[in-house]
């Protein structure tokens, strides 16, 4: 059971990372999605930049892995992402690319919101 919980935590962690990178596009359709995405991006940036800050999902996965008699995974990104999805030497490139995707999603959301607000389309779409 602990091994299954560790796997579920790992999948949740991947989902969170995908949300951090791509979640801003949800605000294009649902503007209220911007606030939770801002919180997720802030948390993700802190986890990557503050060395003493530990991610609770990593700690939870490690707990379940140890309970299953397996070794802990350590840093999630170092274990599952860097060196797996892209070569380790491209960590900075991957971070800049992820930040760029977030910035594009926020800029696009802002432009859509501003354009809809200016034309009255936003209130029409919402049925008002």
The candidate with the shortest Cα–Cα distance to 21, out of 101, 107, 110, 77, is 101
CA proximity to 107, closest of 5, 16, 45, 24: 24
Which pLDDT belongs to residue 120? Answer: 58
**Tens digit of pLDDT at every position of the chain (128 positions):** 999 999 999 999 999 999 999 999 999 999 999 999 999 999 999 998 898 898 999 999 999 999 999 888 878 887 888 888 888 899 899 999 999 999 999 999 999 988 777 665 555 454 54
Q: Is pTM, for the whole model, over 0.85?
A: no
pLDDT at res. 116 = 72
> What is the reported pLDDT for 43?
95
- Structural domain boundaries enclosing 19: 2-125
Domains of the chain: total = 1
What is the chain's alpha carbon radius of gyration, rounded to the nearest angstrom? 18
- 117: left (phi > 0), else alpha (psi -120 to 50), else beta? alpha
Task: Give the total residue count for the chain.
Answer: 128
């Amino acid at each position: 059971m602990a091994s299954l919980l560790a796997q579920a935590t790992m999948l949740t962690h991947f989902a969170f990372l995908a949300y951090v990178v791509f979640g801003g596009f949800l605000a294009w359709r649902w503007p209220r999605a911007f606030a939770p995405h801002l919180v997720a991006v802030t948390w993700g940036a802190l986890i990557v930049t503050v060395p003493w800050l530990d991610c609770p999902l990593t700690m939870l996965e490690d707990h379940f892995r140890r309970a299953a008699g397996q070794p802990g995974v350590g840093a999630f990104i170092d274990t599952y992402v860097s060196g797996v999805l892209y070569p380790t030497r491209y960590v900075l490139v991957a971070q800049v690319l992820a930040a760029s995707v977030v910035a594009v999603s926020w800029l696009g959301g802002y432009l859509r919101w501003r354009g809809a607000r200016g034309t009255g389309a936003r209130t029409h779409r919402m049925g008002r």
